[in-house]
Amino acid sequence: MAKVCHMTNVHGVEDVRIFQKECVSLAKAGYEVYLVERGESYEKNGVHIVGVGDIPADRRRRMTEGARKVYEAARALDADIYHFHDPELLPYGLKLKKAGKKVIFDSHEDYRVMLKYKPYLPAWICRIVAAAYSRYEQRVLRQIDGVIFPALKDGRHPFAGQCRHLAVVNNVPRMEELYDLYDPGIQKYERSVVYIGIMTYNRGITHMIQAASRCSCTAYLGGDFSTEEYQAEIQALPEYACVHYLGHLSRQEVLKTLQHCQIGMANILNVAQYDQYDNLATKVYEYMSLGIPVILSDSPYNTQVMEKYHFGICVKPDDVDAVANAIRYLLDHPDEARRMGENGRRAVKEEFNWDSEAKKLTAFYAEILKD
């Protein structure tokens, strides 16, 4: 079976999508799998992890020194397929292709859109950077073998016509990660809402906190703020008194936190890429896996899935009154909230689980190798 090397200089050690889902699934399918990332070297779950030590925290040094360290370690492995996960690795993906390797870009986000909305850059610079990146990305994609993206856009692959082989591999949960660990008997924190993930303005954090405060709820926040400036802005809000900030959480801590909370929050603003793609945010699948009713943005796809499974309430995400009213409704109607939670678990079991996505991934690899 072919030798496979996954590469990341951005993501943390044993990233859920990269290591726990993709790499482990490929190893189970019989591939010889290596993962080059920050940290130490060791073997786990059939995957050879090749650590490159520390990656600089500074964004510029991470994109230059960190990316180069990962590339050099990966190139030394002489793999058959290279599968990289970060946009700053695009130049090295092109180098590997020119060296005769099979190369896949796993685009976790639509960076062409994301770069237009970076809070640390003026808008005019964002537009220039996004346009330059888009041109370079297209140039690379025309030459490498395949692109993976986690969702369709209006029923069509976002990279259609730009690369020879395309796949959609949704970042849905593994059943054993959360679904199988569900315990309906766990005592919930009283009047609690929860958000797990990166915290930015566009992800609805400001509006969520204001709504939770109006409902006399405690808002449990797990994850990192996008910038120190945004964290300071949030902590300066009068409503921040309702927040219980948990910081970065391990997967075990995520499970514990979610199990104890009553409502999962995903009132992500309908801006940038967030309302354009045919999938739910990863955190929503996690809430659903544990039977937690969800307050969700009213994007077209979200509304469609909500109408099918009835696992929560869709709201206008930047309308604090609407978000607060949804929180109050779920707290005031516990039986209905419980049924919504059960509906979410059913949706995960029937449709939104990693088993089906793993089959797509291995089929894509077979397609790449045949070409």
Residues 112 and 187 in one domain: no
Same domain, 207 and 231: yes
CA-closest candidate to residue 288, choices 138, 177, 150, 159: 177
Q: What whole-number distance in Å separates Cα of residue 269 and Cα of residue 316?
A: 8
pLDDT band of 288, cuts 50, 70, 90: very high
Query: Band of the pLDDT at 118, cuts 50, 70, 90?
Result: confident
Average pLDDT for 151-171 = 93
- The set of residues, in sequence order, having a beta carbon less than 8 Å from that of 102 and lying 6+ positions away, is 80, 81, 82, 145, 368, 369
Query: Is pLDDT of 130 > 90?
Result: no
Residues 199-208: b if buried by 16+ CB within 10 A, e if exposed: bbbbbbbbbb
Using the predicted structure, report yes or no on whether residue 326 has a pLDDT greater than 80: yes
**Same domain for 162 and 211:** no
The span from the CA of 151 to the CA of 109, in Å, is: 9
DSSP state of 240: G
What was the pLDDT predicted at 274? 63
| Chain CA centroid to CA 23, Å | 16
Q: Domain check: are 228 and 95 in the same one?
A: no
Q: Tens of pLDDT along 138-151? A: 999 999 999 999 99
156 and 189 within one domain: no
As a whole number, mean pLDDT of residues 113-137 equals: 83
Domain with 258 in it: what CATH number?
3.40.50.2000
Say whether both 144 and 230 belong to one domain.
Answer: no
Specify the pLDDT at position 311.
98
Q: What is the pLDDT of residue 107?
A: 96
Residue 125 scores a pLDDT above 90: no
- Total of domains in the chain: 2
Q: Is the pLDDT confidence value at 126 over 90?
A: no
Give the whole-number percent of the chain exceeding pLDDT 90: 85
At residue 251 the predicted structure's pLDDT band, cuts being 50, 70 and 90, is confident
Which pLDDT score is estimated for 272?
64
What residue spans of the chain are helical by DSSP H? Answer: 24-28, 59-61, 67-77, 90-98, 111-114, 123-141, 205-214, 228-235, 251-260, 282-289, 300-309, 320-332, 334-350, 354-370
- Please indicate whether residue 324 or residue 58 has the higher confidence score (pLDDT): 324
Give pLDDT, residue 275: 65
Q: Are residues 357 and 343 in the same domain?
A: no
Name the most confidently modeled range: 155-159, 250-254, 257-261. Answer: 257-261
In the prediction, which pLDDT does 113 show? 80
On whether the CB atoms of residues 308 and 145 are closer than 8 A, the answer is no
Per the structure, the complete domain to which residue 168 belongs is given by 3-172+353-370
Predicted local confidence at residue 26, as pLDDT: 98
Q: What is the pLDDT of residues 200-246, one digit of tens each?
A: 999 999 999 999 999 999 999 999 998 899 999 999 999 999 999 99
Higher pLDDT, 275 or 344: 344
Do 190 and 299 share a domain, yes or no? yes
Q: Are 143 and 208 within one domain?
A: no
Contact, 48 vs 73, CB < 8 A? Answer: no
Q: Are residues 186 and 323 in the same domain?
A: yes
Determine the Cα–Cα distance for residues 87 and 299; give it in Å rounded to an integer.
27
Pair 145, 201 in one domain: no
What is the pLDDT of the chain when averaged over all its residues? 94
Whether 317 has a pLDDT exceeding 70, the answer reads yes
pLDDT above 70 covers what percent of the chain?
99
Q: Are residues 193 and 160 in the same domain?
A: no
Question: What pLDDT digit, counting tens, does each position of 41-86 carry?
Answer: 999 999 999 999 999 988 899 999 999 999 999 999 999 999 999 9
Q: Which of 179, 222, 178, 177 is nearest to 203 (CA)?
A: 222
